[in-house]
Structure 1
Amino acid sequence: MNENELFFRNIQSGNIENIGFQLDKNPNLANIKDGRGFTPLIFATYFGQPDIAKLLIERGADVNAQDASGNTALIGVSFKGNKDLVDLLLDSNADVDVQNKNGTTALIFATQYNQKAIVETLLNHKANTSIKDNEGKIALDYAKEKGFEAIAALLK
């Protein structure tokens, strides 16, 4: 197993001590990409590792880096509903309006997955409610389609 593979394995398993040692030896690890285009930060947030995500950001991880599908860490955690990670990313200057290759934003994903607390947080950080995805829909369209009335009310 090479250094990069070991680094991602340590992230997945939550081995923050080894991650710190690896970053001490090679600071560039904070922004490498795996075979799917995941950065360590995207990987850490995907696996719900807030302490590792914070360490990676402190060590220079690009909070707005995108994977092969154009997703950022913020887009990923917005549909999973992890508010602590959303807050960490937004407090670390994550761009709230990045669109992936399908034109989907964090706000659209949070809406599609009925993540009301995340929608509120994104709106408090000035998420643009008029951004359309590749289907020509905005977040409000999805809220109405799915019958998420509380989220629709927030988006109006």
Structure 2
Amino acid sequence: MRLLSILILSLTCLLKPAYGPDTDTPANRICGKWESSEKNLVVEVYPYKNTFRAKMIRFTGGVSKAQPMESITDKKNPDPALRNRKVLGMDVVENLVYNPKSDSWENGRIYEIQSGKTWSAAAYLENENTLKVKGYWKVKLLGKTMTFHRL
């Protein structure tokens, strides 16, 4: 009987992706791929140390609609040394920390490619398939909220 339990546990561990989030914890419900409601941006939210980040995996918001997303660079970055880096694969949200009391992710930073500006960020799940991300400056009430849908 003990051998059967060990075998089942071993198979369960093998079948669970090693890189995937532990969705059993409330904080990790934010992890996964999300598409903006405008359908011009897809990000992948992933855990990083004790925080969460989001990297850009698809972006069609360049100056020219004909410009391939692989060639879009961070040309508005305030640091001239970073203006030639590709935006595809870049972290655009960092340092989100889960707050169990409010069931939200707070104290993060969001980078806006179009302007080169970094804002404070917070996020919450409206439901399991709808993510709201707010970028703001000093006061949450004065920010802009983006809606994402789980892919």
Does the pair score TM above 0.5? no
Structure (1/2) with the larger strand percentage: 2
Q: Which has the higher contact order (CA 8 A, sep 6+)?
A: 2
Query: TM-score under structure 1 normalisation?
Result: 0.28
Larger Rg: 2
Query: TM-score under structure 2 normalisation?
Result: 0.29
